[in-house]
Structure 1
Amino acid sequence: MQGSANLNLMIKAARKAARSLIKDFREVENLQVSAKGPGDFVTKADQEAERIIKEDLLGARPTYGWLGEETGARAGEDPTRRWIVDPLDGTTNFLHGIPHWSVSIALEHKGEIVSAVVYDAPKDEMFYAEKGAGCWLNDNRRLRVSGRRHLHESLFCTGVPFGAQKTLPATLKDLSLMMPGSAGMRRSGSAALDLAWVAAGRYEGFWQRELKAWDMAAGMLLIKEAGGMVEGIREGQDPLESGSILAANDQIFGQLTKMMRG
C-alpha cells in the first residue's frame, strides 16, 4: 500500500524506536527498572523509545496533540489531531526476555483513528492501516480477518488482570463462559499485538477490560480495515473512553457479544 505522509512518518518512527528497544532487549538483564506498581514496570528503554517517537512525530507535525503512556497528554495547536502512542506494549514480556512486544502508534482526527501502526520488532512484522485503505503487513500483504464462523473452531485472546486491577472476577466469569465452547484461549501480554493478530486472522476474537487508549487505538483501526468489528464489552461503550474492548471477525462478533453481554 502506498501510504500517506503521516503513515510513512509513523512507520519510520516505529522502526527507529524499535532499534533502540532491540538493543536494550538483548541486554535485558542489565536494564535499570523502577516499579510503577505491582506487575506494572517502566524501564529506561521504554522512556527512551517514547522520546524518540515523540521527537520524530512532533518534530514533523508540531501542531498535533499528544497522548503517550510515559509522558501523558499534551494539547496541540490543532485541536482536531493527536498522536496516541505506546512505545513498548508488552513491557513485562520485555523485562522477562520474552520476544513478544510491540510499538503502537495511532493518529486520531476529530475523535476517530485514521492511521495506525503496530510494529512487532522481535519478529519484524509491521502491521499498518489507514481509514478506507485496508490493513497491511510489511510491504505488500493485505490482511483480512479470519473467515471462521463457529465458536467451537475459534481461537480467542484476552488479558488477565494483574496487580491492583479490579476486574479479575469479571474476567474469570468471561473465561468460564468462553473456554468450554471455543478452540482455545491465549494470553500473550501485548494487547496491541493481540488486536493486530485478530486483524491478521490468527485469532478470531479478543476482549479485555482496564486498558488504556494507547493500548487499543492502533489495533482498533487495523481490525476495522481488515473487515472485523470493534465495540466496548458493554453495548454503547466507547473502547477508548471506557478501557473496555470486544473485537472479532464479522462472523463471530455477534455470537461473542451475545455471550459476553448475556
Structure 2
Amino acid sequence: MHPMLNIAIRAVRRAGNLIVKNYEIVSTVKINQPNIKNITNSVKIELEKLIIDVIRKSYPEHNIITEMHGKIIGSNKDIKWTIDPLDCISNFLKCLPNFSISITLTMKNRTEIAVIYAPILNEIFSAVRGQGAQLNGYRLRCSNAVDLKGTILAIGYLLSLQQDNQKYITKINQIFKHNYIDFRRTGSVGLDMAYVAAGRVDGYFYIGLKPWNFSAGELLVRESGGLITDFNGNHTNSNNIIAANPHVLKSILLKIRNI
C-alpha cells in the first residue's frame, strides 16, 4: 500500500470511531434547532484535530487545508492534504448513515490519493493515481451501462441556488423523459461519487459544487474507468459536474447541453 494512503486510511478510521460514538449520542438525544450549529461545529473541530494529528505525526512538513482549522502551512509547498471532516452533517444529525469523511492528497496541484470513508457503513473507498480505485481492498469499476435506459442516477443541488435550481430541474426532466431511469439523492457528495466508481449508480450530476467538494470523488471515478465534465462536456473546475462512464455521460450531455 502507498505509505501516504496508509496514513489517510489510518486518519479516517480514527475519526470514524469518534463519529460512531457521537452518532450513538445523537440518536438518543433530542437536539434543539438553536444548538445544532454548536454541536456540528464542535464535532467537526474534534474530527479535524484527530485527522491533523495523524497526518502531522508522519508528515509534519506537509500543508493541510480544513474547513474549521483553515490552512496549516508546512515547509513542503508542493504537497497538500484537504480534509472534509463530515460530508452531509444533516444526515448525521438525523441518524441517516449516508455521510462520510474524505481526505485528498495533491502533489503539485494534481490529485494523487483520495479516501472517502462511510463510518456507519464501514466502507472505505480509496484511489491512488494510476493504480485504480478500491472499496475495502477490492477493485472498483464503473457501471457498464451503454445508454440511459434503465439507469439509476444520483443527483444533488444547493437549496440556496434557487434560480439555477429551476434550470437544473428542467435538465432533470429532460433526462427523465422516455428513458425509464430512476434518481437517488443521498445528500453526501463524496458517497454519491464513490457509488459511481463502484457501479452502484450509473451516473451523478450536481449543481453548485466547489472543487474541494468533489476532488476525492473525482479521482475515484477516473480510476474506476469513469469521466467527469461540466454540463457542456468540458474538463474544467466548474461548479456543475457530471460523473459517469463514457457512454452514460455522453447520453446525459446530449439531453441537457442546450438547455
Give me the TM-score of the superposition, normalised by structure 2: 0.90
The counterpart of 1:33, out of the listed 32, 36, 45, is 36
Counterpart code for 2:83 = V
Note if 1:252 corresponds to 2:248.
Answer: yes
Other-structure match for 2:174: 177
Counterpart code for 1:209 = I
Q: Any idea what SS the aligned residue of 2:116 has?
A: strand
The answer (yes or no) to whether the contact 1:68–1:214 under 8 Å persists in 2 is no
Question: Any residues of structure 2 matched to 1:43-122 within 5 Å, and which?
Answer: 43-122=41-120
Deviation at 1:179, TM superposition (A): 1.9
Provide the aligned C-alpha RMSD in A. Answer: 1.9
Deviation at 1:210, TM superposition (A): 1.7
Q: How many residues align?
A: 252
Q: Any idea what SS the aligned residue of 1:33 has?
A: helix
Which has the higher Rg, Structure 1 or Structure 2? 2
Per the alignment, do residues 165 and 84 of structure 1 end up closer, same or farther by CA in structure 2, a change over 3 Å counting? farther
CA distance in 1, matches of 2:253, 2:67: 29
Per the alignment, do residues 33 and 146 of structure 1 end up closer, same or farther by CA in structure 2, a change over 3 Å counting? same
CA distance in 2, matches of 1:205, 1:230: 10
My pick for the range that moved more, 166-175 or 19-28, is 166-175
Deviation at 1:106, TM superposition (A): 0.7
Give me the TM-score of the superposition, normalised by structure 1: 0.89
Unaligned runs of 5+ in 2: none
The answer (yes or no) to whether the contact 1:84–1:217 under 8 Å persists in 2 is no
Per the alignment, do residues 91 and 182 of structure 1 end up closer, same or farther by CA in structure 2, a change over 3 Å counting? farther
Other-structure match for 1:153: 150
Q: Deviation string for 1:185-208 (max 9, x for gaps)? A: 111110000000000001111111
Per the alignment, do residues 112 and 15 of structure 1 end up closer, same or farther by CA in structure 2, a change over 3 Å counting? same
The answer (yes or no) to whether the contact 2:157–2:207 under 8 Å persists in 1 is no
Note if 1:261 corresponds to 2:257.
Answer: yes
CA distance in 2, matches of 1:166, 1:110: 36
Per the alignment, do residues 75 and 232 of structure 1 end up closer, same or farther by CA in structure 2, a change over 3 Å counting? farther
CA distance in 1, matches of 2:40, 2:164: 22
CA distance in 1, matches of 2:163, 2:90: 19
The answer (yes or no) to whether the contact 1:165–1:210 under 8 Å persists in 2 is no
Per the alignment, do residues 13 and 183 of structure 1 end up closer, same or farther by CA in structure 2, a change over 3 Å counting? same
Q: Deviation string for 1:23-45 (max 9, x for gaps)? A: 0011113665217xxxxx93322
- Percent of aligned positions with the same letter in both sequences? 30
CA distance in 2, matches of 1:169, 1:150: 25
Deviation at 1:163, TM superposition (A): 4.0
My pick for the range that moved more, 164-173 or 8-17, is 164-173
